Structure 1
Amino acid sequence: MRLLAQSHIANRYAQPTEIMAKVQVARAPGQTIVSETLSISPDTRVDAVELEDGRLLRGIFQGQVEVAYSAVIDLEPRIEIHAGALQHRWSDLPADILPYLMPSRFCPSDKFLRFAGREFGNVSGGAKMIAIVEWIRKHVDYLHGVSTAETGAESTFIDRAGVCRDFTHLGLTLARAGGIPARAVAAYALALDPPDFHAVFEVWLGNGWWLIDPTGLAPIEGLIRIAHGRDAADIAFLTTSGPVEQVAMTVSVAKI
């Protein structure tokens, strides 16, 4: 499937502010960048860094700065996670997968061990992940205004409401508490309404990563990877050293 992903971000910076941005489509298995354009107005120098977990832009912005990105992407077919996906013993996992078993800033999985064992301890692997996602969709409402950029999985578990970021943090937390490696993924998403940068996650089962949208708002076959990491702190589309005022932001994905 060929998709066109676009984003336009306009912010106002009152003083020289260091920024890190992740808006470019990742060079990753299952997706091929056919063409892309990046423009910054007014013309501002940025460093483009290729990382294993995504592509990073670094620079210093001041005044009103607009970042516009567009990419044509070919996506290979994806399949939904299935109940038979094998869960590995920790000793059998590749070494680079092990960090995604650990608690992180927004995902205190060590505090959910008892709950995960009681709720999902009778199944493993793909069946466990399906049960976790079903639990989240049943017990957590998709609702704007309940959470903030500082909200973690504990608060979402208590409030039982949030947006894609919160659903993903809770999914990551319960997966790791159940012994399944899990990492957050930032994505452009086809058919997401309203359009926005989308937070989903993936789990390591059967010697591979399986993408999951815990909100159920976007089909996995239309997800375009931007970056991955332990939680939202690693995959934010913009991180700044000081205050910033958002002027405008649009995101869109369409079939070609």
Structure 2
Amino acid sequence: MRLEIEASLVYEFASSTQVLISIQASQSRDQDIVSESLVFDPDAALTLDKNLEGDRRLRCVLSGPARITYRATIENRMRPLLPAQGRQHSWEELPHFAFPFLLPSRFCPSDRFMRFAQREFPQQGDGVARVLAVLDWIHRHIDYLHGVSDAETTALETFVDRAGVCRDFTHLAITFCRAIGVPARAVSAYALDLQPPDFHAVLEVYLENAWWLVDPTRLAPVGGLVRIGSGRDASDIAFMTTDKPCRMIEQNIVVRAVDQAADGPQSAQN
């Protein structure tokens, strides 16, 4: 699936502000970047960081009004969906890179949910069955509702309020998965068919020697997600982090599917 993305962010910075920006599509193995452009108005000196997963983050200093425009065409490869069956690994079997995603983090206090999660999602069936039970519980008990949560809301508060947005659904799913011994990490993404269009938060679980992408909100098809970054929780995947307060003036996200047949004639190959 080929997708076109446009993200336009306009912010006001009252004084010289250090900024981390994570809006570029990840250079990961399950998606190809056909083309992309990134424009800062006014221009800014940028430092690019890239991790082993292909996630990219920019560092810069901004002041006054600033417009950031990112455009990209992404070719999503055939992204595998969570399989019908998959083994949950014991701790000694886990690769070193997955183990940190078993531990509690700022927004995902999985240690507070050990008793609840292990009683609610017992070891019946394999790892996939337990993860699906987590997702079904969230679908039944948590309402998708704006205005209930904010940037400081944790999974514990979402569990009490029984409502939230994609960020809250993802934090609660991660928390439950870690509490039952399944590594889980937060993923920021662009999402086709998401209404209203916005940055989207989903998660990956580690089962059967692989990371599997799932959307606990069930609002966007996994095949239509464009990965931006991954981490322990929202503190690692925020699209913008600043060392001083700033004011959002405008923010627009557009994701659309491209009809590749309209790109022009293709030469046939035998």
- Structure 2: which amino acid aligns with 1:93? L
Equivalent residue, structure 2, for 1:148: 150
Alpha-carbon distance, 1:224 to partner: 0.5
2:47 is aligned with 1:47: yes
2:59 is aligned with 1:29: no
Secondary structure, aligned partner of 2:97 = helix
Alpha-carbon distance, 1:35 to partner: 0.6
Alpha-carbon distance, 1:85 to partner: 1.2
Q: Does structure 2 conserve the Cα–Cα contact (< 8 Å) formed by 1:82 and 1:127?
A: no
Q: Quick one: distance in 2 between partners of 1:107 and 1:171?
A: 9
Q: Quick one: distance in 2 between partners of 1:206 and 1:187?
A: 23
Equivalent residue, structure 2, for 1:228: 230
Larger Rg: 2
Q: Quick one: distance in 2 between partners of 1:50 and 1:172?
A: 24
Equivalent residue, structure 1, for 2:214: 212
- Residues 162-217 of structure 1 deviation map (CA, whole Å, 9 limit, x = unaligned): 00000000000000001000000000001101100000000000000110100000
Task: List aligned pairs for 1:1-256, cutoff 5 A.
Answer: 1-53=1-53, 54-123=55-124, 124-256=126-258
Tell me the TM-score normalized by structure 2.
Answer: 0.93
- Residues 70-119 of structure 1 deviation map (CA, whole Å, 9 limit, x = unaligned): 11111111233134111111101111110000000000001101011111
Q: Does structure 2 conserve the Cα–Cα contact (< 8 Å) formed by 1:139 and 1:160?
A: yes
Q: Sequence identity of aligned pairs in percent? A: 49
Tell me the TM-score normalized by structure 1.
Answer: 0.98
Q: Does structure 2 conserve the Cα–Cα contact (< 8 Å) formed by 1:106 and 1:153?
A: yes
Segment drifting more, 45-54 vs 174-183: 45-54
Count of matched residue positions in the alignment of Structure 1 and Structure 2: 256
Structure 2: stretches of 5+ with no match in the other structure = 259-270
Equivalent residue, structure 1, for 2:264: none
Q: Quick one: distance in 2 between partners of 1:119 and 1:60?
A: 47
Structure 1: stretches of 5+ with no match in the other structure = none
Segment drifting more, 74-83 vs 4-13: 74-83
> Where has structure 1 moved over 4 Å in runs of 4 or more?
none
Q: Does structure 2 conserve the Cα–Cα contact (< 8 Å) formed by 1:83 and 1:125?
A: no
- Residues 20-78 of structure 1 deviation map (CA, whole Å, 9 limit, x = unaligned): 00000001011011110000001121112222351011111000001000111111112
